[in-house]
Amino acid sequence: MKNKNLKALLFLLPAILFLGVFMVYPLIDVLIYSFEEGYNSASQSFFGVGAYNYSYVLHDTYFLQALKNTFIIVIITVPVSTLLALLISLGLSSIKPLRNLFQTVYFLPYVTNTLAVGLVFMILFKKTAYTDGLVNMIIKMFGSGPIDFIDGPYWAKMFVMCFYTVWVVLPFKILILTSALASVKEDYYKAAKIDGTPKFRTFYKITIPMISPMIFYLVITGFIGAFKAYSDEVAIFGTDLNAAGMNTVVGYIYDMLYGDSGGYPSYASAAAILLFLIVFTVTVINLMISKKKTVY
């Protein structure tokens, strides 16, 4: 028996070591940081313990802006992407020819580098001195003036942001929903057909309940992912997100940690814990709703 314990320890040692140093210790440390007031990263000293860091972060206009942006992104992209994914998956499962081709195409954004393709999106939407950009060209055809999507009005920027986010997150959702739809038993549909049930009713009474666990799974992971939005923003608006007014909470954390405005791990920690609390609360609420509504 002893021999076995030793062996297990040996096998687990690398994992425990890595997780201990890079996950467990940081977890405790981040809590401590967040309550240390006036922490100085050069001398590694601080002069008090309390909630000052939290109050600083909550009164920082950059944080409030980031929080607002993050919430808008979450509220727009999660429902839009989930609905769109549902529509596309329904379309996909109703056809046979070309289905594989479409599926392959739809999955492409998943395997591309967000930073790289974000640059293409920026080019498509950007208005510069010598060109209005492709999107503006199309808008012009409908008789509207050019809009500066990258450096212009807030909602134009937010539109690009949400559009790109949806573009990036859809592949995963389509993939999950198509396989969920494929796993609904054919018998149910046959029975409904024999009973002469209208298509819409079949969809509402059979399809949706059968795939509801997967929809909730996507909504929950979608919320979590959207709250952590950051690299997509950098991809479109560059690293100085505060200047663009498009920062997110995660972006705020990194800015506090590093870069021109960095060097404040305590503020970063406080913001990170606030974000964690928000995500945690939203996830718990989601789980509670899904328990009530889902049919298993």
Partner 1 sequence: MKKSTSKQATKIRKADSVLMKTVVYIMLGIWALIVLFPFYWMVLSSLKSYSAYSSEFTPKFITLEPTLDNYRSAFTEVPLGGYFINTVFFTLATTALMLFVTIFAAYAFARIDFKGKNLIFSLFLALMMIPNELVIITNFVTVTNLGLRNTFSGLILPSVASVFYIYLLKENFEQIPDELYRAAKVDGTSDLKYLFKVMIPVCRPTIVTVIILKVIECWNSYVWPRLITDDPAYFLVSNGIQAIRESGFGRENVPAMMAAVVVISVPLIVLFLIFRKKIMEGVSRGGTKG
Residues of this chain, 161-200, that bind partner 1 according to CB under 8 A: 167-169, 171-172, 175-176, 179
Identify which range of 57-65, 103-111, 144-152, 186-194 contacts partner 1 by CB under 8 A: 103-111
Residue 219 Cβ vs partner 1, minimum distance, rounded to whole Å: 13
Write down the residue that tokens 């002469």 correspond to. Answer: 196
Residue 109 Cβ vs partner 1, minimum distance, rounded to whole Å: 6
**Residue 143 near partner 1 by CB under 8 A:** no
Residue 82 Cβ vs partner 1, minimum distance, rounded to whole Å: 14
- The residue among 233, 238, 236 whose CA lies nearest residue 250 is 233
* C-beta separation of 58 from 249 below 8 A: no
User: Per the structure block, which two tokens stand in for 118?
Assistant: 């974000």
Q: Which is nearer to partner 1, 117 or 156 (CB)?
A: 117
Single out the residue of 121, 160, 211, 244 in contact with partner 1 (rule: CB under 8 A). 121
**Residue 88 near partner 1 by CB under 8 A:** yes
Single out the residue of 47, 59, 116, 200 in contact with partner 1 (rule: CB under 8 A). 116
Single out the residue of 51, 208, 258, 281 in contact with partner 1 (rule: CB under 8 A). 258
Single out the residue of 75, 83, 87, 288 in contact with partner 1 (rule: CB under 8 A). 87
Residue 134 Cβ vs partner 1, minimum distance, rounded to whole Å: 5
Single out the residue of 58, 119, 156, 282 in contact with partner 1 (rule: CB under 8 A). 119
38: left (phi over 0), alpha (psi -120 to 50) or beta: left
**Residue 79 near partner 1 by CB under 8 A:** no
- The residue among 159, 165, 157, 169 whose CA lies nearest residue 241 is 157
249-257 vs 61-93: helix crossing angle, rounded to 10: 130
Helix, strand, coil percentages in the chain from 3-state DSSP, rounded to 5: 75, 0, 20
**Residue 75 near partner 1 by CB under 8 A:** no
Cβ count within 10 A of residue 112: 13
Cβ count within 10 A of residue 214: 19
